[in-house]
Amino acid sequence: AQTVTQSQPEMSVQEAETVTLSCTYDTSESDYYLFWYKQPPSRQMILVIRQEAYKQQNATENRFSVNFQKAAKSFSLKISDSQLGDAAMYFCASLRAQKLVFGQGTRLTINP
Amino acid sequence: EAGVAQSPRYKIIEKRQSVAFWCNPISGHATLYWYQQILGQGPKLLIQFQNNGVVDDSQLPKDRFSAERLKGVDSTLKIQPAKLEDSAVYLCASRRPLAGGEQYFGPGTRLTVT
């Protein structure tokens, strides 16, 4: 079975600083996709960033970037210049056979 | 383009009652998913549709949950009879039939069973 593990239930960071959220996964697939989703209190799941496993280059979306370590099955999310609007639950997810498997989530708090 | 629509946003029922949730995916999205998200956990897939056919319902508690997607567009998820442990947020998502394609989520329905 495919599993995704987020070992940090909660994280906090000062506004304008950088924070890294951890994620490890387990898959037997050779080709797969990994995602980070953000879920604010409104409950709407919003895609933050996507990584294709066959690409060696780490994905980047503005202030969000990932550190994808395929051999270690690690997929961490770095948020630079943290903003108050970044406060939310963050979920790591892997895609297999068109189905997403989510981790338990990390609650991120931004301190002004 | 309009996003995934879900209704109602909130629902409170007593145990053993029935409830139904509705989802309207993004136009042109052939694949539709229903997830259950219990408080403090990540979403868990209940059922996946491709057009109006079921692709995967292995985690759907079929003794009480049912879902349908008539005409390959809108979908309804029903619980009958509800149990206390069904209290959760029910999320609907849709995607285009592309490899690795992003799933777009609706705002969810928060169900409370008392």
A26-45 pLDDT, tens per residue? 988 878 899 999 999 888 89
In angstroms, the CA A112 to CA A84 distance is 7
Chain B residues near residue A90 by CB distance under 8 angstroms = none
Q: Which amino acid is at B101?
A: G
Residues A84-100 pLDDT 10s? 999 999 999 998 778 89
A18 touches chain B (CB under 8 A): no
Residue in B31, B42, B107 closest to A103 by CB: B42
Residues of A in contact with B45 (CB under 8 A): 99-101
Nearest residue on chain B to A100, judged by CA atoms?
B45
Mean pLDDT (chain B, rounded): 93
Residue of A nearest to B33 (CA): A99
For B54-84, write each residue's pLDDT tens digit. 999 999 999 999 999 988 899 999 999 999 9
CA atoms within 13 A on the CB side of A51: 27
Does the pLDDT of residue B1 top 80, yes or no?
no
Sequence-distant (6+) residues with CB within 8 A of A19 are A11, A13, A78, A79, A82, A108
User: Read out DSSP for B26-93?
Assistant: -TT--EEEEEEE-TTS--EEEEEEETTEEEE-TTS-TTTEEEE-GGGS-EEEEESS--GGG-EEEEEE
